[in-house]
């Protein structure tokens, strides 16, 4: 039963930064395409960033492009999401998952984890 573990969320002021991490409970993520998603209250889950397992090519949704950076942290065996210039509309529960078809809209492998809450507020 594949399920990833997210961490690093918290409360931050508008304009601030947070770094989220995604880890495999019993395996390295190096061999898998990974996506970050988020779900705000009352809204559908949204795919926001992904990283390829072939060439580490990244993709970003329009809502986070230029502010968020997805990367592989080989030392910690995680896939991290650096979030800068945070806005109140970034408030959501953030999830990571293995992408079953390498795309954010292609489904995930396994099930969703608990997620990590990000609140952007003054």
d(CA 89, CA 80): 20
pLDDT, position 11: 98
CA quadruple 25, 26, 29, 31: dihedral sign: negative
- Among 56, 88, 59, smallest CA distance to 73 is for 56
d(CA 38, CA 90): 9
Chain segment 4-41, per-residue pLDDT in tens: 999 999 999 999 999 999 999 788 898 999 999 999 99
pLDDT, position 4: 93
Beta bridge partners of 70: 81
pLDDT, position 99: 96
Burial track 20-47 (b if 16+ CB lie within 10 A, e otherwise): bbbbbeeeebeebbbbbbbeeeeeeeeb
Chain segment 54-95, per-residue pLDDT in tens: 999 999 999 999 999 999 998 889 999 999 999 999 999 999
Confidence bin at 47 (pLDDT 50/70/90): very high
């Amino acid at each position: 039963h594949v399920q990833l573990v997210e961490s690093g969320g918290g409360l931050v002021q508008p304009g601030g930064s947070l770094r989220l991490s995604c880890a495999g409970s019993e395996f390295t993520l190096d061999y898998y395409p990974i996506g970050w998603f988020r779900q705000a209250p009352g809204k559908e889950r949204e795919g926001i960033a992904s990283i390829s397992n072939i060439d580490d090519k990244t993709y970003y949704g329009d809502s986070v492009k230029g502010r968020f950076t997805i990367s592989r942290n080989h030392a910690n065996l995680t896939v991290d999401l650096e979030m800068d210039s945070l806005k109140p509309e970034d408030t959501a529960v953030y999830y990571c998952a293995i992408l079953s078809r390498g795309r954010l809209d292609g489904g995930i492998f396994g099930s969703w984890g608990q997620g990590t809450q990000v609140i952007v507020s003054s």
